Amino acid sequence: MLDRSATRLIKPVVNHLARMVSGIGVSANQLTMTGFVIGIYAAFLIANNDYLAGAVAIIASRLCDALDGAVARQTKATDAGGFLDITLDFLFYASIPLAFAISDPTRNALPAAVLLAAFIGTGTSFLAFAVLATKRGISTMAYPNKSFYFLGGLTEATETLTCFLAMCVWPEFFIELAYGFAALCSITTLSRIWWGWKAFQ
C-alpha cells in the first residue's frame, strides 16, 4: 500500500547512490547477493536475541535491495537478475519470523508459524498473478520498472519492513505484531485473489 509513496520519496537518493556504486564497478547482482547475505545475518542476530543489531542489519539489507534495481536500470536489467532478486527477497522475508521463533520457541513459535503461513498467501497470490499476467501480456504503469507485473496490496515491502523493525525494537510485543500483520496479510491475499479472478475471467 505504501510502496509507491516510499519509492517516490527515496528515489532521488537511491538513484544517486546507485550511480556511485555502479561507477566503481559494483553490479546489480552483487548488490542482490550482498543484501541477501546481510538479511540472513540479521536473522542470525535475531535468533540469538540481538534484536537491535538485527534491525540495523535489516535496514542495510533492504538498502542493498533498493540499490540493486536502480543499478540494473542504470546499466542493464536482465531476467536472470530479476529472478534472483525476487527469489532471495522471499527467502529473506521468511527468515525473520523463523528467527524470532528460534529466539524464544515457547513464546514465539505459534505466532511465527501463523505469520509464515500468511506470507505464503501473499507470496503465492503475488507470483501466480504475475505469471498469468505475463502470459496474457497484461502490464501496468504503477510499477513500470519491475521485472514483471506488480500486483500491490495492503501489505507490501514497506509495511513488512516496518513490521520487522517494530518487532526488533519491541520484541516483547512480537506475538501481537505477528498476529496483527498476519491478519493484514490475509486481507491482502483475499484482495489479490478477488482482483486476479476478475482480471482473468
DSSP 173: G
Confidence (pTM): 0.85
Over residues 71-130, the pLDDT tens digits come to 988 887 788 988 999 999 999 999 999 999 999 999 999 999 999 999 999 999 888 888
Q: What is the largest CA-CA distance in the chain?
A: 49
Q: Which domains does the chain have, with CATH numbers?
A: 3-200 (1.20.120.1760)
Please report, in angstroms and rounded to a whole number, the separation of the first and last CA atoms in the chain: 25
Identify the segments of the chain with pLDDT beneath 50: 3, 141-145, 147-149
**Closest to 111 in 3D by CA, of 16, 51, 77, 103:** 103
Round to whole Å and give the CA distance between 196 and 177. 28
